[in-house]
Amino acid sequence: MKYLLLPAVVLLAGCQSLSQSDNADSDSGANTHIETANAVEIHQALLADESIDVTHPIADVEFSLKDKESLAKNDIWPRIQSQLTFDIPEEKRLIAQRNWYAKHPSYLKRVAKRAEPFLYYIVEELEKNDMPIELALLPVVESAFDPFAYSHGRASGMWQFVPATGERFGMKQNWWYDGRRDIVASTEGAIKYLKYLNKFFDGDWMLALAAYNSGEGRVRNAVRKNKRLGKPTDFWSLDLPKETRAYVPKLLALADIIKRPEDFNLTLYSIDNKSVLSLVDIKSQLDLAKAATLAGLSLAELQRLNPGFNRWATDPDGPHRLLLPTHTVEKFQLGLSKLSKNDRLAWQRYKIKSGDNLGVIANKFNTRVDLIQQVNNIKGNQIRAGKHLLIPVAAKSLDSYVFSQEQRIAKKQSRPGKGIKVTHTVKSGDNLWDIGRKYKVNGKSIAKWNGFAPRDTLKLGQKLVIWQKNTASYAKSKTGNRVENAIIRNITYKVRRGDSFARIADKFNVRISDIERWNNLDRSKYLQPGQRLKLSVDVTNNI
């Protein structure tokens, strides 16, 4: 058994970034430069705890991680404060973030509750690796300390890794398990990645942090550009994406407030400076419902501490470990020792029917073909009608596993929306662009309604919930302009690197021909970064 060291903290969370389309709320006829979010919008995004690019798909789960007799005797904050070393320049971007954080203590408390199980462990790991203690605050900026958070850029977990970078730094990802959400695997991976970036930029932590947000190639190119132009190459002087320009100031603002909270009339939440979680070796696959019962936890509580597991059980091929409140470990291990191998999972004897194949059977029981093959000692895919298979199944109804991937998606899809709800079944050749045009909705909205990122691969047979606008609201005049319930705003959009006519049309749910007409352009010509386009946008249809 390995002890992990983790507590509770009043922390601050910044919004990851703001959608450019969120700024289209000026009076009709007025031009708004939507590449810049105003202060009110930033404040609202922070308070909502749901920036446009980072989504928190599940409700927070509150429960005690301490034994009833445990009393806090030692606060972790002096330990962190004594190790804060980053310079805090009086830069405009940093001051704006710091002032805003300081004015919203209720928001800080919410993030503190999310951080409670995990911060102490992160502090310990950073100290072991001789890393700046400020990095313990990075999950606040990345995800508001939510291991279930995901972004429309396909990043997932507390440290917000995209799939490729997660694999690059040791985070296993498959049907059963996603290491990007696993507290231990993702923290280990984040430390490895940050070490690599720090070395890549010759020990400059500001550049390393910027690269953690936008990639080392982009930051390196910005440095090289400034060198060619004879300009300074420090972080504050670089031409970087808007999100990255705000990213480093957010972390520094947090560090400054933690270092001297009294200067901002804040009291930091008292955190017990000792281990509250333990990492327990479970040896082999185990149903999460059975694990929760053995530990004396609800299933939701167990899943909240072990967010890496996608399904109703741990991955049969590992990792074979669970994070548990330390005071529950003895009871859990005693109960686990009494379980036979067969009792770790629930089982069903299934008689093979004519027309069955292993894939159909696996889908029916929400399991994997390879697991059925392994349990029944089947080589290949040949099965015979009339024979029996032993199938591992969930010990409880699938909707009891509230934080499994299926249930997170089901909950997302069941949320009420505006308009008429339609279910689309993905067919061969489908993509978000075509589906969006078919139903006259934004492709990003489809992804949002169904709990995945716009660049995720659609699967054959996948069910998608789509909220169509009421027909009356979407009537169009002969000129093509929306009428009746549509709310039209004239905006100015600044073309970004990678934009195209199709991408902008999809983003704002307008037609390419309209963009051409409004700007006297030809779609065959390339758009240039920085170019400004006039758009007439129905803000009721841009989410």
3-state helix, strand, coil in the chain (%, to 5): 45, 15, 45
CB 41 within 8 A of CB 22: yes
DSSP calls for 135-166:
GGGHHHHHHTT-TT-EETTS-BTTTTB-HHHH
DSSP calls for 445-466:
HHHHHTTS-TTSPP-TT-EEEE
Q: CB atoms < 10 A from the CB of 331, how many? A: 13
Q: Which amino acid is at 50?
A: E
Q: CB atoms < 10 A from the CB of 177, how many? A: 23
Quote the distance between the C-alpha of residue 188 and its chain's center.
Answer: 17
Q: CB atoms < 10 A from the CB of 234, how many? A: 13
Strand 2-4, strand 54-55: pairing: unpaired
CA dist 299 and 403 (Å) reads 9
CB 393 within 8 A of CB 347: yes
CA dist 133 and 147 (Å) reads 20
Report the run of H or E that residue 425 belongs to, with start and end: strand 420-425
Contact residues for 36 (Cβ-Cβ < 8 A; gap 6+): 23, 242
Q: Which amino acid is at 251?
A: L
Calculated CA dihedral for residues 347, 352, 357, 361, nearest 10 degrees: -30
Given the residues 116, 142, 188, 301, the one annotated as active site: 142
Q: CB atoms < 10 A from the CB of 385, how many? A: 10
142 assigned to active site: yes
Lookup: tokens for 239: 């031409």
Question: Which contacts (CB < 8 Å, 24+ apart) does range 510-515 have?
Answer: 510/535, 510/536, 510/537, 511/480, 514/480
Three-class DSSP category at 272? strand
Contact residues for 283 (Cβ-Cβ < 8 A; gap 6+): 320
CB 191 within 8 A of CB 136: no
List the one residue out of 104, 110, 90 whose CA is nearest residue 253: 90
Active-site positions read 142
